[in-house]
Chain A
């Protein structure tokens, strides 16, 4: 390799080989870092910039600098707070349900010997399926015209998408179905790390099943549980596909992502929509920061390391 003379101070401290290795390393990771930053940081900066303007795509001439006015418009609008509320409710419902269900799945997958492959294969199907397909499947199952749920449970002509809570219920079901496999596989990996010796010792000491669960299993899985909850919370917070397909935001089921999309793409209000985007990004950032600080989730320990 044709490398120019290394800077003297570095050359004194490290051998030529080490310098070469450092340069090669940086060169090899450079494309990945540059692409990742170009496709996210640059558009994000652009969103930040656009959010300071009153700007509609349909009226480019009317673009004017308004400072932080878009933010004050969004934050003082009750719609924004309602959308945040809907999003948070769905996040809580889905993450709690997935954690419980996922833990049950992980326990079964951990213990099973016969049919292990079958269960793991089955569980990966919801994981790999397109979210939009899942949304349609659940929507049609609950729909008045094509659905079978009302017949099965003798609910007459209950209009599931006609009111807020029942619509949120179906949206959450689809989300839970699709993403529980991910959580359960993370928890399964966590379960595998709980030392078998501890379980045996607790058993010999006469600990009951629930004592072993709460005193031995769960504390030893803390890292896996926190990582699973963090990933799923951030993922659920950007919920979009299910809402789009099932209600298109009707019956007060709009989520933050859907609001941003509607402002920017449907209404072409790029300034206002960008402000919503920036707020969405900030909330995701705050959730992650709160987790990492509050629960001391050490991602570098758990992931990558």
Chain B
């Protein structure tokens, strides 16, 4: 590409960054407003205060929510990426009937409206004792993390030059060495990217979280945030909700900053053949 920057591109880039950051900066600003400052009807606080952060970290609803969110999102991510890696490996490397069917099933399931599953799961979970438990959320989370991981991984694995494994073996490497030294480094970025995307989805879930939990035992942060509103211990839930929102946004920002390239590749690789 030899095009030079037109002014429109530069202005566009600034607008995009402003547009993407504004709501985040706003909620950050809100989280630093204490007391009546919340209702100052201005963008910025008149005085910075950490009061809201103290409040949320002393609220069991939030601290247990954070623990639940991290645990449930990580476990469902690891499980689905592990299962998907094995399946995507087979799809990329082995010749067997029904490959396309597997990918079509995954696509169909990724489109599935989560709310349609909520009623029956609510009913079943209550009878089998999974209602309001970690496992009771991990299982439905697989309904979106697994197809997503499978798509991302099979798109990545298609691009891997698998014949390098045989080449290494011809050069005298053992099968295990060839796998560990050649295949693992090639496949690891894809696996990692699939894990980030799956984690984002699990971290984001609200539909299952609000429907299938009732106490601090398993309620993740997004559902807990909805309960902050109107809770009597908070005079002004807006400040506390904003502080809690910033806390759960930090992992997202860290992942995006560190792995921007991989996330973009993961989102577009599978979607449009490049």
Contact = CB atoms under 8 A, between A and B. Distances in A.
A126 B17 CA distance: 11
B118 A112 contact: no
A36 B255 contact: no
Interface of A: 18, 21-26, 28-29, 31-33, 35-37, 39-40, 43-44, 46-47, 50, 57, 104-105, 107-109, 111-115, 117-134, 136-138, 140-141, 143, 145-148, 150-152, 177, 181-182, 185-186, 188-190, 192-193, 196, 223-224, 227, 231, 234, 237-238, 240-241, 244-245, 256-257, 260-261, 264-265, 270, 273-274, 277-278, 280-281, 284, 288, 299-305
Interface residues of B, number: 101
29 contacts: A28-B86, A28-B87, A29-B86, A29-B87, A39-B142, A40-B117, A43-B121, A57-B126, A114-B5, A120-B260, A120-B261, A130-B222, A137-B24, A137-B26, A141-B26, A146-B30, A150-B41, A186-B268, A186-B272, A189-B272, A238-B113, A241-B207, A241-B222, A264-B119, A273-B119, A277-B117, A304-B100, A304-B107, A304-B154
Given A36-B146, A284-B111, A277 B13 contact: no
A28 B95 contact: no
Nearest to B206: A241
Given A32-B87, A129-B24, A244-B206, A124 B256 contact: yes
Contacts of B248: 130, 133
B17 to A, nearest CB: 4
Nearest to B95: A21
Q: Which 8 A-B pairs have the closest CB atoms?
A: A25-B96, A28-B90, A108-B12, A32-B87, A25-B94, A46-B120, A264-B119, A189-B268
B176 interface: no
B264 A120 contact: yes
Given A40-B109, A119-B13, A148-B41, 12 more contacts: A29-B90, A32-B102, A36-B147, A177-B23, A181-B20, A241-B206, A256-B115, A257-B113, A257-B114, A277-B119, A280-B113, A304-B100
